[in-house]
Amino acid sequence: MKLRITYIAIAVLFIWNGSVFCDEWPDWRGPKRDGTWNETGVKKNFDSPHIEIKWRAPVSAGYSGPTVADGRVYITDRVEDPKEIERVLCFDALSGESIWSYSYDCTYSRVGYPDGPRASVIIDDDRAYSLGTMGHLYCFQNKSGQVLWSIDLRVEYDIKMPTWAIAAAPIIFDNKIILNIGGQNNACVVALNKITGEEMWRNLDDGTSYSAPILIEQADKPVAVIWTDRRVVGLDPNTGSLYWQQDFEQKQMVMNVGSPVFYNNHLFVSSFFDGSMLLRLDPDKMSAEKVWQRSGESERITDALHSTISTPLLKGDHIYGVDSYGELRCLELKTGNRVWEDLSAVVRNRWANIHFIQNGELTYMFNGNGELIVGSLSPDGFHEIDRAKLIEPTTGQLNRSGTGVTWAHPAFAYKHVYARNDEELVCADLTEK
């Protein structure tokens, strides 16, 4: 009998295409925040113009992308009727069945694009962390939804809310959760104890941006890279002390949304109005040197790259990204000079968006039209292998001529893709048959 139970247990581990041994997506842009999906045996071609959906679950409006870990999918949204609330929702990753949900009163005040939370839920061991639009931070037991602690950051840190409110997903380092929130009294960046919620350090008098922090290694030490409203900084994640800084003033208005990208000792950032900047980080000591900074005359007459929502991709000696009106571009890493531009990946429009997910040599691209594109990016150009519609655009996030957009970043886990709009969360199996 014991032997039979053992065999059953082993078999369960291999259910759902061996998902236990597949990648999960517990954080913003994946486990390392680098938009990398390492699973093999996934589809490169689609069977029809529309990807077959494995399950659908109703949700309300929101900009936050799903995260996936331990067989569960997490998402946040906003409901306005009969009263204004934000919700944190947890679904079974296999079936889409609701596991738990939690809601709290949340009145939006002077929020541009007020259709829901921005930051992805962050999963760390047995805990889930949710950061809402107005600064409500919750720590949940991730399987049950029990609230372990919560803080109203807007009240606690006297946050001067930016135009589009709080958007940067917090990041976990050791026993800390680090937040880019723009609090007063030297609290632009705050680290809390991830178990208790108690403050551990704070630093910077800057205003916040919408850009989620990343963690890198420099000179054999961990560095938290934060992009505020006026500069890019490297902080010691243990103490909050400043290692290095580089000014990057947002002259027209703060519109830096994509995360910084670190590759081969280079750090790249790009914003909608003010263009791009490349830094070289010294591998032997804590210093950063500007390689180049470029911007065009306007949002239409751009230079190098003026990215909006999309986080660019650094690969080899080149940068790939989406310019202000959806132009897919390749730049020389060392100079910022344009190598090519392609207008086929997304319909040209202001703030047209593509999320890049690298899988080996191929790039999976989820665009603002709800299409998943498989292709390759190289200095020779964009080579499309296939594309298909994954989810329909909706008008809550942006009512663009009645067609809407899909701006939330998808998640890739268990050889499946998870995506949301303002009405539903969908799951599709991408296992190569």
Give the model confidence (pLDDT) of 276-287 as tens digits: 999 999 999 999
| Share of residues in the chain with pLDDT > 70 (%) | 95
Give the model confidence (pLDDT) of 311-362 as tens digits: 999 999 999 999 999 999 999 999 999 999 999 999 999 999 999 999 999 9
* Span 408-427, average pLDDT: 98
Residue 18 confidence class, pLDDT cut points 50, 70, 90: very low
3-state secondary structure the chain: CHHHHHHHHHHHHCHHHHHHHCCCECCCCCCCCCCECCCCCECCCCCCCECCCCEEEECCECCCCCEEECCEEEEEEEECCCCCEEEEEEEECCCCCEEEEEEEECCCCCCCCCCCCCCCCEEECCEEEEECCCCEEEEEECCCCCEEEEEEHHHHCCCCCCCCCCCCCCEEECCEEEEEEEECCCEEEEEEECCCCCEEEEECCCCCCCCCCEEEEECCEEEEEEECCCEEEEECCCCCCEEEEEECCCCCCCCCCCCCEEECCEEEEEECCCEEEEEEECCCCCCEEEEEEECCCCCCCCCCCCCCCCCCEEECCEEEEECCCCCEEEEECCCCCEEEEECCCCCCCCCCCEEEEEECCEEEEEECCCEEEEEEEECCEEEEEEEEECCCCECCCCCCCCCCECCCCCEEECCEEEEECCCEEEEEECECC
Give the model confidence (pLDDT) of 78-87 as tens digits: 999 999 999 9
pLDDT score of 28: 98
Residue 13 confidence class, pLDDT cut points 50, 70, 90: very low
pLDDT score of 237: 98
Residue 6 confidence class, pLDDT cut points 50, 70, 90: very low
pLDDT score of 400: 83
pLDDT score of 401: 75
Statement: residue 232 has pLDDT above 60: yes
pLDDT score of 211: 97
* Span 240-245, average pLDDT: 98
pTM equals 0.95
Query: Do 231 and 215 meet the contact criterion of CB atoms below 8 Å apart?
Result: no
* Span 39-53, average pLDDT: 97
pLDDT score of 123: 98
Give the model confidence (pLDDT) of 178-230 as tens digits: 999 999 999 999 999 999 999 999 999 999 999 999 999 999 999 999 999 99
Statement: residue 115 has pLDDT above 60: yes
Six-digit token string for 175 = 């026993």
11 or 45, which is more confident? 45
Statement: residue 372 has pLDDT above 90: yes
User: Hey, what's the torsion of the CAs at 207, 210, 212, 216, to 10 degrees?
Assistant: -60
pLDDT score of 433: 87
pLDDT score of 250: 86
Statement: residue 275 has pLDDT above 60: yes
Statement: residue 19 has pLDDT above 50: no
Closest CA to 418 of 76, 54, 22: 54
Residue 403 confidence class, pLDDT cut points 50, 70, 90: confident
| Share of residues in the chain with pLDDT > 90 (%) | 92
Statement: residue 16 has pLDDT above 60: no
User: What does the mean pLDDT of the chain come to?
Assistant: 94
pLDDT score of 341: 98
Statement: residue 268 has pLDDT above 60: yes
User: Cα-flanking dihedrals φ and ψ of residue 380, to 5°?
Assistant: -80, -15
Give the model confidence (pLDDT) of 135-191 as tens digits: 999 999 999 999 999 999 999 999 999 999 999 999 999 999 999 999 999 999 999
